[in-house]
Structure 1
Amino acid sequence: MEKVILILVLSISGALFAQSDYEKGMNQAFELWGTNPAEASNLFERIAHAEKDNWIPFYYAAQVNILNGFTIKDKAVLTAQLEKAQTLLDQASAISSDNPEIMVMQALLHIVWVAYDGETYGMLLSGKVIALYEKALQLAPDNPRVVFGKAEWDMGGAKFFGNDTAPFCKEIEKSIELFAKFEPKAPFYPIWGKERAEQVLATCK
């Protein structure tokens, strides 16, 4: 009996230690993100391969590459960056299918291409972005990143065609209310977006 208890204690201690290593690594990656995005992405990816049933590190590894894509002007560099991000998102989706957070990030990847060259990629990818947001909204109507992402995209379309943006401003207001109520489902679960939503809402005034 004592041996059984010892094994259980050692197992629990090992799990706690592994979790501690995970948290330490994730925190280190977030710290690196501000100064060395490439190394942050690599660290998130290394953590992801160690945490084989956890989609979150793959998600952040992809997000680093996607957000950095908005600053890249060279098409070859951008293509390589977003292809890597797509692979990481695919790995995240393989672990957690029909995940609205991953859908929002997938939509954002497409939006990087639209921002890079609207004439080439606007018509090609707009339908995919809309479909992703609509599906995510069906799955998680109270997810603030879903509500905000869709509203910001729709607002951009309304501005492009000279249409009224007021309905989308209301949706952005709704997303900010949802951000205030949102409770993460796990450690390091995505919580980003509120500051961006507030910035976009300020343009509605």
Structure 2
Amino acid sequence: MKKLVSIAALLSITLFAAAQNKKYISAMEKNVAALDTTRDAIQLQSLANNFERIGSAEKSEWLPSYYVAYCYVNMTYSTKGDMIDTYCDKADKFISVADSINPNNSEIYTLKAQIASARISVNPMTRGQKYGTISGELTDKAKEFDKTNPRPYYLEGTSYFYTPPMFGGGKDKAKPVFQKALEMFETFKPASTIAPNWGKNSTLYFLKKCEEK
């Protein structure tokens, strides 16, 4: 009898855990899908709040905090001045949480690099060297952690694209990097339905810009 009770209890725990995981995946899928359709700061803030709530309930999962950071760094592209730093500070906070849960992760280091790059736009003349170097080092780490991940190459391409030719950048330097990223996107398979899978459309956009005279 005791053995049957133990088996029943174990089965109940297993079924409960499976139900909780299904609920988590469903909530994440809904919000990740919404990321593909917006760059609006208000909507991104709403999604960041949703991911933060999911992360509060699922403390062992790194992806909710990753996506909170992703929302905040994308919000920097619709603002300027001190607000860029405000959003980057929030992004850094949450990407650090993700990193503490899943260290040495290529996706996390790519986003760290993107956050550093975003800080440059506050004042490119005074910040370019410092944050450009930080972003480059983080991008190299991201490549090292996963040689199949196209996003570090996409980010490297944007760095060249926005760097003037006199400082070693420009369209001619950016184009082959974007081409490599696109080749990698063609074969890249995300780890799950909620794993990072962004960047291909942006790569195509920048490739087109590189070909413009």
Return the TM-score normalized by structure 1.
0.88
Q: Measure the CA separation in 1 of the matches of 2:76 and 2:170.
A: 29
Q: Would you say how many aligned residue pairs link Structure 1 and Structure 2?
A: 204
Kindly provide the amino acid, as one letter, of the partner of residue 20 in structure 1. Answer: K
In structure 1, the partner of 2:44 is 37
Aligned match of 1:14: 16
Task: Establish whether residue 119 from structure 1 lines up as the match of residue 119 from structure 2.
Answer: no
Corresponding residue of 1:188: 194
**Unaligned 5+ residue runs, structure 2?**
none
The Cα shift of 1:95 comes to 0.8
Could you tell me whether the CA contact under 8 Å between 2:162 and 2:170 is conserved in 1?
A: no
| Other-structure match for 2:148 | 142
Summarize the alignment of residues 1-205 of structure 1 with structure 2, pairs less than 5 Å apart: 1-30=3-32, 33=35, 34=38, 36-75=43-82, 77-157=83-163, 159=165, 161=167, 165-205=171-211
Shift of 1:185: 1.9
Partner SS state of residue 60, structure 2: coil
Instruction: Report the CA distance shift for 1:82/1:163 in structure 2 as closer, same or farther (over 3 A).
Output: closer
Q: Deviations over 1:158-205 (max 9, x none)?
A: 545376644542221121121121122234110000000011111232
The 3-state SS of whatever aligns with 2:136 is: helix
Give distance in 2, aligned partners of 1:164 and 1:82. Answer: 25
Structure 1 residues 163 and 37 mapped into 2: Cα distance closer, same or farther (>3 Å)?
Answer: closer
* Structure 1: gaps spanning 5 or more residues: none
**CA distance in structure 2 between the aligned counterparts of 1:123 and 1:166, rounded to whole angstroms:** 21
Of all paired residues, the percent bearing the same amino acid is 24
